[in-house]
Structure 1
Amino acid sequence: MTRLLVECTHVFQHPKVNSGIQRVVRNVVNQLPESVDGVECIPVVMLKGKLYRVLKLGALNIPLFDQFMMFGGRLGRLAHRFWQWHQRLDKRLTSRLARRVVYVAYQLTALTCFSVPLRLIDQLDQYQLPKRCAPLQHQPGDQLVLLDSSWHTDFFPFAEQLKREGVGIVSVIYDLIPLTHPQFYDTRLVQVFNEWFDWITQTADGYVAISATVRDQVREEVQRRLGSAKANALWFDYFHLGSELDLTDARSTVDPGLLQMFKTPDPVFLMVSTIEPRKNHAYLLDAFERAWAAGSKARLCIVGKIGWKCEALIERIRQHPQLNLRLFMFNNLSDKSLEHAYSHATSLVFPSYVEGFGLPLVEAMQRGLPAMASDIPVFREIGGEYMAYFDLSDPQNLADLVIDMESGGAFPAPLNLDNWRWLSWREASAQLVERIQRNLHSDTKVPESQHANCP
């Protein structure tokens, strides 16, 4: 029997993180079927050159221990930012002596403030491992499915060893945006991602993207890096993501500010995303300022954690004359609060420049909330004629859609959302397994596209 070893190392090590890829990995693993048509599915992690079967992906919910782990995660991220600061400073210094002094200061600070505490936390972490995972022996013919964001990890040499010992490598690709649009990311992340993708092209036997759009981009990039002959020996496929909000807790309460916002009847247009340049929140503000100037009473509600390269945008929001009147921002909503927002808003608005999928669109539409989005190929793949689209070159285009919907009451999409359906996370997990299996064991031609309402 073929075994799919579905890797989830980063989420296993950071169980409290709940952004895009982490949400996907957690849901796919938690809904992973034990077997599909003779294929056994095993969630695994790779830690310190060893393979483990995952027994519990989430945290153990031991308050003091969880706090230590959360502190360790924050300290690790702070250590990385400190390293980045040192790298930037080192490049600016021209004096050899100054660079040496800064280097010594960096090493001493890193050792005392980061390395020693992180090692202690790592030792503490070792005590809880047997409750969350168990050693697993790999076998020739196993397929290691790199589902998680593996550019964060250090298991590359171990994965190469597994391949030499007969284990196939399948890479799940979420997007190639750091390669195609590097302006949206820090230089170091672009470099890390590029190095990771170089490793993937040399190591993987097959690729599964999260949309047909990304699959085609991956095939082109692999062909560019390896040449057509080597690329044609590999396989390329995709699956679609599910839509449930799995962390909704019936015992939790909805954010009071959110409840207050929805008490008045004026329409609410919802944007759900980490706040960072690629998501194009500035376009939203431009469009709604035009709508407000034309007399619109529509409100814009921005939901999402504050990310990177957005200082000017955040300041613009916090100083905006419409803040808490027609403009609202929530940076730390629970899944229950997000569910409430999806259920009570008038429409989702999503002006992203580029995406691998666009999970909030599916989350919203699956709950009956219509969506307006930028007119890019992957959104057409997801929404088809059930969504409304606007031109990113002119904010007035979105402003007109908002005003027309507010005055006419009808959502400006050709097809009624009542007839739209999407995958559950259980169906998405099964689809991932089935498509990997199809490429491993069948000569069946993979469909070139899959459209909305046809999962």
Structure 2
Amino acid sequence: MTGGLRHPVLMDISRLLSRADSAVPTGIDRVELEYALYLMRVPASQVAFVAYHPVGRIGILPRRAAASFLRVLARAWASGTRPSRASSLLAGALLQAAAFGAVGDTKHRRTYLLLSHHHLMRQDVIAAFLKRAHAAMAVMVHDLIPIEYPEYARPTEPDRHRRRMDTVGRLAESVIVPSRPVGDSLRHYLAPRGHCPPVSVVHHGCLVPSGIPASAGPLAPDAPYFVILGTIEPRKNHLLLLNLWRQMATEGGSAPLPHLVIIGRRGWENENILDMIERCPALRGIVHEHATLSDRGVAALIGGARALLFPSFAEGFGLPLLEVLAMGIPCLCSDLPVFREIAGDFPVYLDPLDGPGWRRAIAELSGHDRRPVPAPSFADWPTQVAAGLAALGVTNGKVETAC
């Protein structure tokens, strides 16, 4: 770690503990895990892991048990299997340790590192912990989508997210965001409230699975196919694609009908999407859903696809876009500023409401064998974690801040 730590770090892994028996990680899960695995390599005298307990306490966790939990979780998610019972047992034991609220040595200034939105709405608990632990707060804000686009969130989520951002404004001493649009949104939200801590833009790292099979295997349809990857929820715009596929199926034609492969767990507010997947006769046999696949399995399916389809209405970053582009697979994505920032000219950009445009682009890619495309090189996770820690003031490294 370039330059070493400025102060001892207390990294919060509450979100990861809450996901102890989940078979498929979300993007935020992956980000928090990458930072935790990176900091596991730092001596215990410089890095401790902490967690929030629902009784209203944040406490330091036993280092060895925390490291064991992180390794078990990382192995399970990499293999695409549900974490073993040992993972849940370890998470329960660690939460019990957090409930006691120990903060350890308070003689030296420390940094409290919170990289998810897990309990940011509990401003009182965090403030009390910062005081007891003699710590400054460093935060990652992933997006402000529930505030900016409440129609895509659960009914209670916009108010909860405002409380989270209020905590950031009042308690955080440094913030990183994954893209400039998120940084702009955060400053726009916090400025009228009187305080905006320094905000730095640090992109997420890119992980391309090694040893990808030459064949997509038995999960691949016996026809040309496209993939959409991500949680099934309204802002991902699955309905656009499902309606296009229904239209293509009912119209028929001489050209073979490509298939659509949906990869991702089922999220929220998605009844209309699920109704089409489960009950639309025209889509039977041509739309395939996979909720739990290993990274290797996902990569194999994507490797045989004509393209990744990414028609989201709003994103804070877009990890799947980077990872698929890095595999040399074509991508059709929404024309969002964040996508242009992180992916440049490599994808084909389309308006997320332009159904005819998406259909033409899909038809063009369906009508011939997949053409090779250049595979860009994006920064790996260790590089980006080091940049993120430097931006937060955790290390002595220096990066350019956004504001």
**Separation (CA, whole Å) in 1 of partners of 2:48 and 2:84:** 28
Q: Structure 2 residue aligned with 1:21, among 22, 25, 28?
A: 28
Deviation string, structure 1 residues 24-67 (Cα, Å, up to 9, x no partner): 1112211337569xx95554334434223543343769955556
Distance 1:401 1:315 in 2: 26
Q: How far apart are the structure 2 equivalents of 1:363 and 1:24?
A: 14
Does residue 217 of structure 2 align to residue 259 of structure 1?
yes
Q: 1:275 aligns with which of 215, 232, 237?
A: 232
Q: 1:337 to 1:60 in 2, by over 3 A?
A: closer
User: How far apart are the structure 2 equivalents of 1:57 and 1:366?
Assistant: 30
Structure with greater helix percent? 1
- How big is the shift at 1:428? 2.0
Residue 385 of structure 2 is aligned to residue 429 of structure 1: yes
**Distance 1:126-1:402 versus aligned 2 partners, 3 A rule:** closer
CA contact (8 A) 1:317 1:323 kept: yes
Q: CA RMSD in A?
A: 3.7
Query: What SS is found at the alignment partner of 1:429?
Result: helix
Aligned partner letter, 1:236:
V
Residues 56 and 126 of structure 1, relative CA distance in 2, 3 Å threshold: closer
Aligned to 1:341: 301
CA distance in 1, matches of 2:262, 2:34: 24
Q: Which residue of 1 aligns with 2:51?
A: 45
1:77 aligned residue: none
Task: Confirm or deny: 8 A CA contact 1:160 1:203 kept in the other structure.
Answer: no
Letter in 2 for 1:313: I
Which structure 2 residues correspond to residues 52-131 of structure 1 after superposition, within 5 A? Answer: 52=61, 53=63, 54-58=66-70, 64=85, 66=87, 125=93
Deviation at 1:371, TM superposition (A): 1.2
Shift of 1:398: 0.6
Q: Does 1:287 align with 2:244?
A: yes
Aligned to 1:315: 275
Q: 2:151 aligns with which of 183, 207, 216?
A: 183
**Cα distance between partner residues in 2 of 1:34 and 1:126:** 20
Unaligned runs of 5+ in 1: 71-121, 449-455
Structure 1 residues 270 and 64: alpha-carbon distance in aligned structure 2, compared to 1, 3 A threshold: closer
- With normalisation by structure 2, the TM-score equals 0.80
Q: Give 1:400 shift.
A: 0.6
* Structure 2: gaps of 5 or more residues: 1-5, 74-82
CA distance in 1: counterparts of 2:332 and 2:387, whole angstroms = 27
Who is 2:316 aligned against?
356
Matched residue SS, 2:401: coil
What is the rounded CA distance, in whole Å, between the counterparts of 1:337 and 1:221 in structure 2? 40
The CA distance in 2 between the partners of 1:67 and 1:434, in whole Å, is 33
- Given candidates 374, 382, 385, the residue that maps to 1:417 is 374
- Deviation of 1:140 after TM superposition, in Å, equals 4.0
| Amino acid corresponding to residue 324 of structure 2 in structure 1 | A
Cα shift readout 1:379-436 (whole Å, capped 9, x = no counterpart): 1112110111111222111111111222355669xxx533x11122222211211222
What is the alpha-carbon distance in structure 1 between the residues aligned to residue 221 and residue 247 of structure 2? 24
For these two proteins, the number of residue pairs brought into alignment is 374
Give yes or no for the alignment of 1:148 onto 2:116. yes
Equivalence for 1:173: 141
Q: AA paired with 2:59? A: K
Distance 1:163 1:208, change over 3 A: farther
Whole-Å Cα distance in 1 between the matches of residues 86 and 326 of structure 2? Answer: 37
* Cα deviation digits, residues 273-325 of structure 1 (max 9, x gap): 11111111001122334445364522111111111111122111112334453
Q: CA deviation at 1:153?
A: 7.6
CA distance in 2, matches of 1:408, 1:305: 31
Q: Which residue of 1 aligns with 2:37?
A: 30
Instruction: Say which of 9, 15, 23 aligns to 1:4.
Output: 9
Identity score, percent: 23
Conserved? CA contact 2:52–2:119, under 8 Å: no
* Aligned-partner Cα distance in 2 for 1:64–1:327: 33
Q: Report the 3-state secondary structure (helix = DSSP H, G, I; strand = E; otherwise coil) of the residue aligned with 1:362.
A: helix
**Deviation string, structure 1 residues 424-449 (Cα, Å, up to 9, x no partner):** 2222211211222399886x75368x
Match of 1:242 among 198, 205, 210: 205
The structural deviation recorded for 1:333 is 2.2
Tell me which of the two structures has the higher relative contact order, counting C-alpha pairs closer than 8 angstroms and 6 or more residues apart: 2
TM superposition score normalised by structure 1: 0.72
- Match in the other structure for 1:401: 361
1:331–1:438 Cα change, 3 Å: closer
Residue 224 (structure 2) pairs with residue 215 (structure 1): no
Are the aligned partners of 1:304 and 1:331 in contact in 2 as well (CA < 8 Å)? yes
Conservation of the 8 A alpha-carbon contact between 2:117 and 2:164: no
Q: 1:40 to 1:214 in 2, by over 3 A?
A: farther
Computing the radius of gyration over CA atoms, which structure comes out larger, 1 or 2? Answer: 1
